[in-house]
A and B are shown apart, each in its own frame.
Chain A
């Protein structure tokens, strides 16, 4: 499948959907801080990879795909579920990159420029996730 940038995806989302993501993202970040204060960084760190906005995102993907198909006069429910499954599979591939992000930050934040380490780790997440996605696409074609 060809990778495309489609700004229509952003226009499709309603303002309350952005608010929902903001609230869930804000809550898990605040919660990670509170957990760190109460139980320390070892427990709090687990929650840096908690799927806080995952249910909201997957539900929105399902809803948008369903609506798109229904506008064309098709039964959208099935395609909506398929789209949510694709989204979840993408997250599974992205989580390998997230693991790499964690390893780089764990090993290199002490003794190096933290900003530089965070930038390099974020790039490593992106490169790893995209590489796995490309490999899977090539294998399936």
Chain B
């Protein structure tokens, strides 16, 4: 039941941010919303209610590593598209291991 609640709330918040981003031109501004704290807002709200502030705070500390990884991932995707002329799907999917590498690399160095 809890997973369903998370799914519905997460889906709704992510869709709302994506829809707001879709309103703006140029595309680079709309892209800001690709890094909106949508999953974080949905997850942290539930985490605070169920597990308490300390648990949510620890999630946020790790999220900093995830955000750095997202920045590196996004820059790599940009380069693959601009210089490599990859398709959007190929560039975004093939860059996903970089997100894991950076996020878990920072986790291992600073958080473990």
Q: Could you tell me which A residues sit within 8 Å of B by CB distance? A: 1, 3-7, 9-10, 13, 18, 21-30, 32-34, 36, 40-55, 57-59, 61-62, 65, 80-99, 101-103, 105-107, 109-111, 114, 118, 121-122, 125, 129-130, 133
Contact = CB atoms under 8 A, between A and B. Distances in A.
Is chain A's interface secondary structure helix, strand, loop, or mixed overall?
A: helix
16 contacts: A4-B26, A26-B8, A30-B6, A41-B58, A42-B61, A52-B14, A52-B39, A54-B74, A62-B87, A87-B28, A90-B33, A94-B35, A95-B71, A109-B56, A130-B29, A133-B29
Interface residues of B, number: 84
A79 to B, nearest CB: 10
Interface in B60-112: 60-71, 73-75, 77-78, 81-82, 85-89, 91-93, 96, 99, 103-104, 107, 111-112
Interface of B: 2-4, 6-15, 18-19, 22-48, 51, 53-71, 73-75, 77-78, 81-82, 85-89, 91-93, 96, 99, 103-104, 107, 111-112
